[in-house]
Amino acid sequence: MNSGGAGAASGTTYNGSAAQTISYNTIGAAPLAAVATHTAGVQTTSSTVTFSATAMTINCALSNVFEITMTANVTTAMTMSNVAGGQTINVFIIQDATGSRTMTWSSSTIVKWSGGAAPTLSTAANSVDLLVMTYRSATSAWYATLTKGFA
């Protein structure tokens, strides 16, 4: 990044409640490209997935953050729709007040797990696990990790 001298320019942009300074290279008076863009207060709104033990679908076009509260065992693996290559989703899987709920996972050709084996969920009442999955178009598979037992 050129931060001073001939051929450098900078500007101040106000986004949200904070100002950011952006420096960029120039030829003459025209900027070539901005070096950085920042928007203060960026967040993703969580989407609640309707629970179903047999036909639960996550619509990846709605958000990148989802919540599922389990009220029974999941006997059919959930499916994803409207997937974009490189998309990462976070799924909070929440046990209800009863707990002891289990989940059936997709085959290893659709979901590739860190460590090579599908995990088991935390089963304590009201426990929360975080499933993080990134879709890779080259293999048509999700790469997944499960962090368990948030209290």
Q: What is the model's pLDDT at position 109?
A: 86
The boundaries of the domain holding residue 80 are: 47-150
Kindly state whether residues 30 and 58 are assigned to the same domain: no
Output the CA angle 142-144-146, nearest 5 degrees: 155
Residues 91 and 143 occupy one common structural domain: yes
Regarding whether 95 and 81 lie in a shared domain, the answer is: yes
Beta strand 30-34 pairing with 18-27: antiparallel
Q: Which helix (H) or strand (E) holds 85?
A: none
The pLDDT of residue 7 is 47
Q: How many domains does the chain have?
A: 2
pLDDT at 37: 59
The whole-number pLDDT of residue 18 equals 53
Same domain, 68 and 99: yes
Can you tell me which residue has the tokens 């409207």?
82
The SS3 call for residue 131 is: strand
Q: Are 144 and 89 in contact (CB under 8 A)?
A: no
Flag residues of the chain having pLDDT under 70. Answer: 1-42
Question: Is this model's pTM higher than 0.85 or not?
Answer: no
92 and 51 in a common domain: yes
| Residue 57 and residue 31 in one domain | no
